[in-house]
A = this chain, B = another copy of it.
Amino acid sequence: MNMNKNLKKAGLKATLPRLRVMELFLNEAGTHFTAEDVYKRFLTEGDEIGLATIYRVLTQFEHAGLLQRHHFETGKAVFELNEGNHHDHLVCIECGKVEEFLDEGIEKRQKEIAAERGFAVQDHALYIYVDCLRENCPNRAAKLSHTKPL
């Protein structure tokens, strides 16, 4: 199957933790998970996979290009399936909801800006922090970003 092939290509053995992680990200493409999200998810499903293992697997998958890591202002890293399509993020500071977008104009302008200054772009991160204005936020209580002022 697809999963095994991905792992093989990355030179990684098909172990239970890795299959579970891969499966989760494939099944829920587009979702952003922290290491702990993944850990807890498995716990509730009956799989006791150590948190350190989760971290290791996520990092390996990132290096293998299977996942992407992002650092929002929440203090913890989030991972999502790497579907090859670069995009930026809108992050709701009230509920943590994440939406993706891509704007060619912005992409192009970034390259120009770096080039104007003699730099070679390696990567970029654009996070727009918003208020989604939903009164019924599932986790309006568990706010993000206690450090960043608005």
Contacts and interface: CB of A to CB of B under 8 A. Distances in A.
Interface string A56-69: 00010011010001
A119 B148 contact: no
A97 to B, nearest CB: 9
B125 A113 contact: no
Contacts of A131: 119-120, 122
A129 B124 contact: yes
Interface residues of A, number: 41
B150 A133 contact: no
A111 B117 CA distance: 26
Contact of A90 (B90, B105, B117): B117
Given A101-B113, A106-B109, A113-B128, A149 B63 contact: yes
A142 B114 CA distance: 22
A110 interface: yes
Contacts of A63: 149
A69 B145 CA distance: 12
Interface string A5-26: 0000000000000000000000
15 contacts: A62-B149, A65-B149, A90-B114, A93-B122, A93-B123, A101-B117, A106-B106, A106-B109, A119-B130, A122-B130, A123-B150, A124-B129, A125-B125, A125-B129, A126-B126
